[in-house]
Structure formats: structure tokens, C-alpha cells
Amino acid sequence: MYSSIAQANEAIIERIKAARPHWIAVRPAAEAVPVLAQGRKLLHAGPPIAWAQMTGPMRGACIGASLFEGWAATQADALRLLEAGEVEFIPCHHVGAVGPMGGITSANMPVLVVRDTVHGNQACCNLNEGIGKVMRFGAYGDDVQQRLCWMRDTLAPVLQAALETLDGGVDLTALMAQAITMGDEFHQRNIAASALLLRVLAPAITALDRPKTELAAVLRFLSVTDQFFLNLAMAYSKAVMDAAAEIKAGSIVTAMTRNGREFGIRVSGLGDRWFTAPVNTPQGLFFTGYSQADANPDIGDSAITETLGIGGAAMIAAPGVTRFVGAGGMGAALETSEEMEEIYLDHNPLLQIPSWDFKGACLGLDIRRVVETGITPLINTGIAHREAGIGQVGAGTVRAPLPCFEQALEALAEAQGITA
Amino acid sequence: MYSSIAQANEAIIERIKAARPHWIAVRPAAEAVPVLAQGRKLLHAGPPIAWAQMTGPMRGACIGASLFEGWAATQADALRLLEAGEVEFIPCHHVGAVGPMGGITSANMPVLVVRDTVHGNQACCNLNEGIGKVMRFGAYGDDVQQRLCWMRDTLAPVLQAALETLDGGVDLTALMAQAITMGDEFHQRNIAASALLLRVLAPAITALDRPKTELAAVLRFLSVTDQFFLNLAMAYSKAVMDAAAEIKAGSIVTAMTRNGREFGIRVSGLGDRWFTAPVNTPQGLFFTGYSQADANPDIGDSAITETLGIGGAAMIAAPGVTRFVGAGGMGAALETSEEMEEIYLDHNPLLQIPSWDFKGACLGLDIRRVVETGITPLINTGIAHREAGIGQVGAGTVRAPLPCFEQALEALAEAQGITA
């Protein structure tokens, strides 16, 4: 169908530019991902991984989810269950989902549902819990359980009811186009998008026929959860890249993700195959009392943002974040985006960055360029404590490992009938 | 008390840096400005001006206020009243107030009250009505009247009730410190500050014991009024510069304002005296159907933002706005702020601008530097139609006229016993 890789890549880029994902619903995960409805199953971040290989934060989140689902009454019971292999694990990416950090998502957790109104495909992501001791970073204590229950019983139904009053849901492209001019890169900085989203939601939430205490609690949560929009940016990126992946040719990366051990990528011309290599460990700044020695290796589906070309590649949009992730000031931000520009094929006309003289965010990550230049994608990321039960300890940057791109390029050559 | 102008200026700068204005209340103007309580009086923008000299938009706003206060039942009645000299005019700046564009403020209009928690002084400003046909730009029709009544009867009491639940009101410095990293310069762009303010207000508003329809209407208004924060930024700047003006020495500008005819400045070492010169007419971009020929000459107290060092001087913080005001891209924004840097004495450590490599906004506008360099302050501004009754027709930039700085410098030399 495509006479060259370049032509296929052009078709992919066209689909990325055409996509218009809207946030349309908040649903129990088992509704959005029907496979979760039966038996003990958990979604996890990254390419496939078994319990025995999982690192601390993902294990902690599995314990948290087992307690949340009522599969176990204590941490010890949950561990026994998980070690006995009584829980089935499925990568989020295998079922149209993404999840930050551990990515652990169970049947009764609510998920954000995003629909690409142009191509018709959907993607989902669990909801941001806020910062500190949270399940996605491996915490699972009582406070975590209480918050998860509140999110299921109050936050999710209120958001769903508010969304139902907004005709067509929330146009995320329009919102992100504005937020990227306000310092967001949508991975480690989402405060503008979260605030703009609250502007859309607050009038709708206030008008709902539900107890005021509930509505005020939801608005309080949204008003202090600076990273609330991250999970929407992830579902957005997943929806866009899934639409792009329908062009089953070319050399553009359609997913990048990490499970704490392996970094996995998928490439447009190579379908659903994972190409993996051991993850690096993020370097960055740590909360008081923690240090680099506490950092878990790279983990989470959130690198779907860098797959689209935001996050680390859009560092110049968010010079404020360069300090948060320990990457210097404005000059460093510009250098990062200029370096990333070498491995992406195009710019996104929908996401113009004023501090880049209105150039669009990067778009179309090409494995050929990565291998030719040796430049690997830079990812802005939260840092989880390496042990289960503790949570977030910092934020930083990490590089994707080169070998998965090299393997993918070899496989692409092979698929094209070019053998080394 | 001060042995040199430089020493006095240092003391002023110290007060500017120390000021911490909080938004503490919304009150009827007559309560915040008691002189309005008796007789027919209107506050107006700029240095003193009589009805006969007022330009179209200020006249239109006077008609609007006369109708709003019930002094007249029709436009013709209002005009008769105004022409007969039955309304007394007082500059906002003479009573601790500021007002955008016409600045027309009457007894029963609500005002935002801001208090500098460090120096104890207060300042106030009327509330932003949104865009288009609004009183501050000279419109006065039924839609304008209806909105003003709604603002008095619903918006103001809801905001006041919400503020009462926020201990100590809203710390505007903290909010602005964040918003300036999100693309606001606080004169023509306030969307980040307005959104961040909504984050603070929404939970409090939703929890109020008032009809839900009222609360939802207030949140709807706040969620689409991108310039809502402008009026708070003006009251903030007024409070800071009034605190600074207590040092009755030195060469720092403590107020810049325009009445549509004259541009007026006040200088720290010269007390409440106005130094005036004819205003320029803003150049910029116009809404569909309007052009430069429709532009009213420069008008409004909003140049109090540039007096503090935000607005036009902080153009580099808001490269997005350079396009809105027709001033080019990122390079032009940087040039503007670098040019302004030559006439301000210092940088504001509270308002760091990431896209200026985290340099603070300008601070301490020195008449000596203006006269020495011939560089006059650049002001970002809305543009009113020159005729009464029409409203906003565009946005642009305008320069303060040099002669008022020259006159002030001569007066300062005289006051110091140095005669030319």
C-alpha cells in the first residue's frame, strides 16, 4: 500500500495531526476494559512482566489493588495470593489502556475514557490520585485505600455526571493547545491544563443535583491535584498513537513504556511486537530524606507522552520543569528540545510553543533517526521508591535504552526483505 | 531623611519587594470609598478631567453609571445631567482606587478590596465585566446594565461570601508568582492567574449556602472571563505602589495613568502632584470590522501594572500576548523587556520569568533613566472605540509620552534645590 517507509510515515503523521481525542466518560475499569470483569486480573505498565520480576512500586500497587478489590484482607494475604500466581497480569497497552508508574488498574477502579472523534478509537487511563503516598508509586496503606474508595464512590460519579452535561465531552486538543503556551509539557507539568480543565468542569459540577459536601470535596481535590491532567494527557497520547498505528507500515514509534525492568517500544511497521531492553534509572531531584539510592528503575506507561512528542521532547515549553527534574534552566530546556528535534520527523501544528518561537511540539519519533544519531528519547518522569509501600520520592529525567530501537530497526529491515 | 535620591529609591524598592497584598473583600464602592456615599459622584481613570474634555468611552461609561445608579432613566436624561454639571468627578487615584479604561465607578458598583498585609494600606478596583460591549470600554446599553446589576446582586455577594471562608483572603503575590511562569504579564494576559484563582475559589463557592443556580452562574462567569484577574492585578499594583509612595523622596514613578486626553504620572519625591502630557493612541490589532481609525486615545488606570513593572515591561513572560497586541513573536518580546530593563532600577525577586532565564520582572521605574535614555514605558492595553456606546475594538501597545517625565525631573531638581 505504501511504496516507501517515508510514504508510510507521512500517512502516520497525517493521522497524528488529524486526531481529535475528547474526554468523554469516567467508567469502572471493568466496563472500559471488559476482560477485567471476570476473575482476578490486574493491568500493569510496560511490556509483559510476571510477578517474580516486578520491582517494588509495582508490587506495592498490586498489594494495594488486591486489598481494594477485596481479594485479600491484609498485606500478608495479598502477598500470598500474588506469589501463588492467583492474579493474572495484563499489560495496559494490550487492552487500549495506559497507566502511570506501576499502572496497576483493577476492575473497580474508575478510568478516564478518551475517544478520538476523527478516527473513532478509544483509550483509557486510571485517575490521578495526587502526590506522595499513592498507589501508582507503590504505596498501599489505609490512607491509599481510603482515597481509592473515595475516588470510586464520589470523584468518578461526579466527574461522569459533569461530563454528561458537557456536549461532546472535553476537547483535549483545544485545551492542550492553550496549556502548552502556559508552561505545561504534559508529563511532569500539567498545572495549566489541570487549571483550565477545572474552569470547564467547575460550573458543571456545581450545578449537579448531588450533596454540596460531595461537590465541594471533588472541587477541592481537583484544585490541589496539579498532575490531574497527566492521566488525560496519557489517554490522549494513547488514543492518538493507536490511531496512527492503524497505518501498519513505516518506522514511527507508536508506544514507549517501562515495567521497571524492561523498556518496551512498538513500531508502526511491526504491529504489536514489543522490542525491549533493560531500563535505565532516572536521575533527578529527591524529596527531603530520599536520594538517588532510593530510586526505582524507570517505570510506567507515561512515556506515551514522549511517544507523541510532548513530555521531555517539549522541555522548552516548560522551562519551569527543567528545575523540578534537575535539568538546569532555559538554555538546558532549549538544548533538550533541539536534541529531540533530531529524532522526530515533524512538528505538531496543534501544539505551538511560544518559547520555541511558536514552533510546534515534536511529532513522529523515527527509529531510524534514533539509531543513526544514537540520540535516545529523553523522558521526564516521577521517581518511585524502589521498595513497595513508600511512594514517590522525586522527579527527574531518564533516557530510553538504545538497544530496543536497534532491534526494531533490524526487524524492520528483515520485514522489508533487507537482511544484514 | 535620605541622603541621596539613590538611597531613597533603595528604600522604595525595599518596600515594593516587601509588600504582600491579599485580596480580602468585595464591597460596594461607597463602602470602600466613603466619599461616593453622598451625592452624585463618579470615579474616573487618569489625572483629573472634566466632562467637557472626556473622550467617547469615558462619556459612555458615565452614561452607563448614571443609568445604573438610577440618576437618569434614559440616555438623553443621563446626558443632560452630565452636561449640566450635576455629577462630580473624582480621579480613582485620589481615593485609593484604580479602574480600567474609563475607570468609571459609582457608589453601588462592587469593588475588589486588596490589603497590603505588610504595610497595612488598602486599594480597590471595580470588577471585570468580561469582553466586548462592556461599560469600561464605553458601552451602556441594556445588556451592559443587566450585567452590572447581576454583578452587584449575585457575583459580588457570592465572591464576598467565598472570601470569608478563605482565612486571610487570597495571597496575590503567591498566585502571581505562579501565573507569571504560565505566560501572564497581568495587563493584556491574565488567563493563568484567572484560572489559578478559580482553583482557589471554586471549592469555596460550591460549598456556600446559596441557590445552586447562582453559584453555577458565578462559576460560569469566572470560567470564561480570562481577564478577571486584571482588576486584581491593578488593585495589587496600586497597593504596592501606594506603600512605596510612603517614602516621600526619590525618583521612582508611583503612578502612571491616562484619562483619554492626558497621561499623568506621580513620582515618589513629588507627592501627589500630577505631571501630565497628551496621550498617544495605541497601535495594535483590531476585532473584525474595526480599524486604527476607530481607536480612542490611550485611556485607563491599568498602566498601574507597568508602574509596578509588569504588563508591557514583562512582555517576555507572555510571548503569546505579543501576537495579540500586534508586537511580533518571541524576539520582539525579549527586545521589549530588555529595552524596558534600561528604565527600571531593579528586578522583582517575587515574579521570576522562566523565559527570561528566571530573571524577575522589572521594578522601580526611574524618571531619570527615562529622560536620560529617551525610552518611555511601553504599555500593553485594550483599545476602546472612540465613540461612546460601542466598547472594545482591539488591543495593542502604546508609549507613555516623554514630556511628563521631563517635567517631573525638572520639578524634582527644583525640589532638591537644583535649578536649571
Say if pTM beats, i.e. exceeds, 0.90. yes
Q: Name every residue whose Cβ is closer than 8 Å to that of residue A371 and which is 6 or more positions away in sequence.
A: A402, A405, A406, A409
pLDDT of residue A419: 61
Q: How far is the alpha carbon of B176 from chain A, nearest alpha carbon, in Å?
A: 13
pLDDT of residue A322: 75
Selecting from A206, A220, A355 the residue whose C-beta is nearest the C-beta of B330 gives A355
User: How far from each other are the two terminal CA atoms of chain B, in whole angstroms?
Assistant: 24
pLDDT of residue A326: 66
pLDDT of residue A418: 76
Mean pLDDT of B126-141: 91
Interface of B with A in 304-323 (CB under 8 A): 319-320
Indicate which of B155, B170, B175, B182 best probes the interface with A, i.e. most A CBs within 10 Å of its own CB. Answer: B182
What are B119's three cell numbers? 504595610
Specify the 3-state DSSP secondary structure of B317.
Answer: helix
- Render pLDDT for B269-316 as a digit per residue (tens, 0 to 9): 999 999 999 999 999 999 999 999 999 999 999 999 999 999 999 999
- Render pLDDT for A200-226 as a digit per residue (tens, 0 to 9): 999 999 999 999 999 999 999 999 999
Selecting from B200, B329, B354 the residue whose C-beta is nearest the C-beta of A319 gives B354
pLDDT of residue A396: 93
Q: How confident is residue A325, by pLDDT bands cut at 50, 70 and 90?
A: low
Task: Report whether pLDDT(A420) > 60.
Answer: no
Q: Which residues in chain A are contacts of B213 at CB distance < 8 A?
A: 207
Q: Which residues in chain B are contacts of A355 at CB distance < 8 A?
A: 319, 330, 354-355
Asked whether A5 and A269 are in contact (CB, 8 A), the reply is yes
Task: Report whether pLDDT(B328) > 80.
Answer: no
Q: How confident is residue A246, by pLDDT bands cut at 50, 70 and 90?
A: very high
pLDDT of residue A416: 85
Domain annotation for chain B: domains and CATH numbers: 21-232 (3.90.1710.10), 247-415 (3.90.1700.10)
Contact state of A182 with B191 under an 8 Å Cβ cutoff:
yes
Question: How far, in whole angstroms, is CA B208 from its chain's centroid?
Answer: 30
- Nearest Cα neighbor of A322 from A309, A337, A305 is A337
Task: Report whether pLDDT(B420) > 60.
Answer: no
Q: Which residues in chain A are contacts of B199 at CB distance < 8 A?
A: 195, 198, 222-224
Asked whether B56 and B259 are in contact (CB, 8 A), the reply is no
Q: How confident is residue A1, by pLDDT bands cut at 50, 70 and 90?
A: confident
Q: How confident is residue A131, by pLDDT bands cut at 50, 70 and 90?
A: confident
Task: Report whether pLDDT(B325) > 70.
Answer: no
Q: How far apart are CA B397 and CA B121, in angstroms?
A: 31
- Nearest Cα neighbor of B326 from B233, B188, B229 is B188
Q: What is the mean pLDDT of chain B?
A: 95
pLDDT of residue B320: 75
Q: Give the chain A residue nearest B218 (alpha carbons).
A: A203
Task: Report whether pLDDT(B140) > 70.
Answer: yes
Q: How far apart are CA B146 and CA B100, in angstroms?
A: 20
Q: How far apart are CA B161 and CA B150, in angstroms?
A: 16
| Residue of A184 and B416 predicted with greater confidence | A184
Q: Which residues in chain B are contacts of A216 at CB distance < 8 A?
A: 203, 206-207
DSSP state of A261: S
Asked whether B234 and B301 are in contact (CB, 8 A), the reply is yes
Q: Which residues in chain A are contacts of B215 at CB distance < 8 A?
A: 206
Phi, psi angle pair for B219, to nearest 5°: -65, -35
pLDDT of residue B331: 85
Neighbours of B11 (CB within 10 A): 18
